[in-house]
Chain A
């Protein structure tokens, strides 16, 4: 403990030196911009800006890159809340209740809660990173393919709790997402599937174009189809600040989101994307007011936003403790270190204490910088909504097209966005929920690969899922959740159709 404090003091002496502090602030600003632009996510942002760091010292370089990374995680929620356009995959869930709050004239509190939740989650997870990195990293590595499969199944079952609509409709949408996820070259055998000769589909269908289409474009189309144009929103200062009740209702979801996100974040791979979906599902399940979810429940903003920020910090655990590139973003940072002549490995913490602890301390600093940066911006962003819709919406469409094109420089991605936008329009007219499609699309390739890897590990024996304690525990949770979701059907008796929502009132 004493040692940790000494190290942290060393870290702060590095992080607060004017030079490093300057780059931390710069990184946060750039990151926020990257996050605000639709389509351009943290990974693309870091890869694009990596070359700018070559003239810097390793410490300033990694501090700058980390600033961009969590700045983007903060900024990703802004367009989700204001315009229902997910800035990156992790903020898809924020679109649902964040935008519903905006429609009720509560964009200010939604943005503020997102920023506060991100701050709390970011800070808590740096504390955890600092105190627990080595033992946690060892635990994270035990997540092999079977554990991964179980975790993804858990994510899939969460779907059932995520949607506010009828269960059969949710399942239909999830299936659509899972099926879309099988398009492209099979990651195991190299077979080309369902591309119908369109070579660009070989990489599969991207998450960002689909999410922007289903959430953003469909919303614009729906608004355009209304009889009366929506009222232009004129925010008053007092409406920008979250009420005491907002804050009270957000505390528990933020803390739960932080813990959940952190643990999902330390697992090597791309699982961190699902942390916000899982958080949303849990919040909805345990809420006393589940009916408010989807209609502007503040918990639906606080939980997922905290989870995705905590996951961002958690991802650094295996990198710092073991020198393992645990996900795409830490891997880019490791490459940056390597280019600067620092070889990241299991001994990084011992050999480069000033760098590692300076980096950790800069994450504390960065979180504070981002909070200071983001809270005043709430007022600025909310004022964007003053722009009349006839001007605002064409701009948003242009923004979406540019953002989606920029990710892969692919026109096919833009077409995917347009087609899914149109499909999303019709599906939403029919009261289908869009979030399960996106989650299905995210999970499908990962689930398929890890399931097949697990079976390769066991030579085809499904027992592997039961012999490994972590996987078995998670699968038990899956079964339990499944039974729980069926329970009202079994116990409630009466007409089961009313329970699954087949005889919904026409609305």
Chain B
């Protein structure tokens, strides 16, 4: 059995008295695209720095391909590519030179082949490699790092908010490339807060808060744990629904004539009973929406009063 590309268990890391990571679990299996979600300051970037061996963990394990992220950093870096969220490039190098410098230490089979792939990537990201890095906009610096990463074609990609600064067209190009490497069996760790992007490409999602994993699994699994939004037009009095187990946030508004519109959310485990109750109310219309990732995310951060806690980590962990 080969080891997982990323295996993090009970990872802890403090900066002074601030706990940036406090019991983090994260696994990326071969050929899997793992979404890594959390608000600013939740510890995503710290986790990635620990994975890259730039920062040392206090306790727990952080392994890449079975090797220790800190001790075996150099050897492990041969098998991965990294794109930071805010790419800073060497000002007096051109974009093309920076790409070459970043990719040169990886095994490259055939130089002509590599040149062709570089040209194709530059083309698809619409990047001019002859400009000095200091003249690039943020989006263009991001493209330099992305082209370098896809050119390496490693076993594992680590992306830390890779599309920040990219326009929607380029985001789509990025998504295409991620799909392509997934089809080629590569593993991807994608830290992001663009939820639609994660929803589109990721197989699994890990949500963290205050340096701790609060939710992880496939999107389907996560959805199962949460609620479905139901909106129905009924003729009879909907009060009977309100008392049912697993029903939340009921609002009723008068629609046309004797029809009442009722909105509610229901725990997925109870949905059968609720639908049965609804059907007795002379239903005229019904929509049921599974929770979007955004709702999942908001549920963990939005209403919860303890969600304010991670704020003080923000400044330090950044």
Query: Do A and B make up one complex?
Result: no
Q: Which residues of B contact A (CB under 8 A)?
A: none
